[in-house]
Structure 1
Amino acid sequence: MSVPTLNGQVIGRAHYATRALLERLLAPSGTTFQQSLALNAVADEGGTADREQVLARLTAGLKTDRAAALSVLAELTDAGLLAPSPDAADGVALTPAGRGRQAGIRADVADLTARLYGGLPPEDLAAAARVLTALTARADAELAG
């Protein structure tokens, strides 16, 4: 089999294949992809995060608008996975149920990542990361311009 040329179609197929696996992984918990990103954003800040920072991360990462990001936070709050932060006026915090859900998802994703990326040469992974990071930066610049 010949090596394909790197282009949007190749990147897109990889994205959709891995996204489909992630959606399948999330389905039993009832968590959407967007919700998982929000849970990760809060967890990455130690379990409590500034609401505006979470919204910014969602809108930038998902290329969506503020209303859609606000809806994700409302869904998580309604599900009892996020709550207003007791420590910050405009903060959100993982509830115990949210911490459990996010930790379970993170562990499942780590297992999936090991299966998908395992055995690939580290130098190939590093090169792919550099190229995809540069492509994302260029696309973000185009979107902003």
Structure 2
Amino acid sequence: MTSVNGRVIGLAHHAGRAVAERVVGRHGLSFLGHLALRAAITQDGPLAPEELAGRLTHDLKGDHTLSQQAVDSLTAQGYLEYDDAWLLRPTDAGRDLFATVTTEVAEVSARLYAGLSEEELAVTGRVLELVTERANAELAEPAA
């Protein structure tokens, strides 16, 4: 039996992300663009562009410039638009695209997780949440 460690978790993450990138790429979206669109759609109201890019940067521990480019690209493609207060909200085209991509990603995910019991998925979820929480706490500490 394989024990869980950073390498095993990382390999699973990168493989799953590559599959997701292939799905969203068929629709002209980047992986970051898909995540930005999700954040905009699941938000209760419109967001400042900097806030949306900041969420991506924080969640992915990534480059803020790349996050901002993803937000700008969604706006240029007509999937996000500015309201009168210069806040971003998803367009109908953005919502439709997100629904389509989400359905396709869910179909692939079902195949990836097929045969795993509810208990296995629950334990894995708890472990990954705890590892994420601890890693975020480490990142919050000043670098040595």
Normalising by the residue count of structure 1, what TM-score does the alignment of the two structures yield? 0.88
1:122 CA drift (Å)? 0.5
Query: SS at the partner of 1:50?
Result: coil
Residue 49 of structure 1 is matched in structure 2 by 46
Q: What CA distance in whole angstroms lies between the structure 2 residues aligned with 1:23 and 1:68?
A: 16
Render the CA deviation track for 1:63-98: whole Å, top value 9, x for unaligned.
124333222111111111110134xx2421111221
Instruction: Tell whether 2:95 aligns with 1:125.
Output: no
Please give the alpha-carbon distance, in whole angstroms, between the structure 1 residues aligned to 2:90 and 2:51.
Answer: 15
CA distance in 1, matches of 2:10, 2:64: 25
Count of residues paired in the alignment: 140
SS at structure 2 position matched to 1:93 = strand
Equivalent in 23, 29, 32 of residue 30 of structure 2: 32
Task: Tell me the C-alpha RMSD between the 2 structures.
Answer: 1.6
Q: Tell me the SS of whatever aligns to 1:31.
A: coil
Normalising by structure 2, what TM-score? 0.88
Give the aligned partner of residue 104 of structure 2.
Answer: 108
Q: Distance in 1 between matches of 2:87 and 2:127?
A: 35
Q: Which runs of 4+ in 1 moved over 4 A?
A: none
Q: Which residue of 2 aligns with 1:4?
A: 2
User: What residue ranges of structure 1 are gaps of 5+ in the alignment?
Assistant: none
1:142 aligned onto 2:99: no
**Percent of aligned positions with the same letter in both sequences?**
40
Q: 2:71 aligns with which of 69, 73, 89?
A: 73
CA distance in 2, matches of 1:57, 1:90: 18
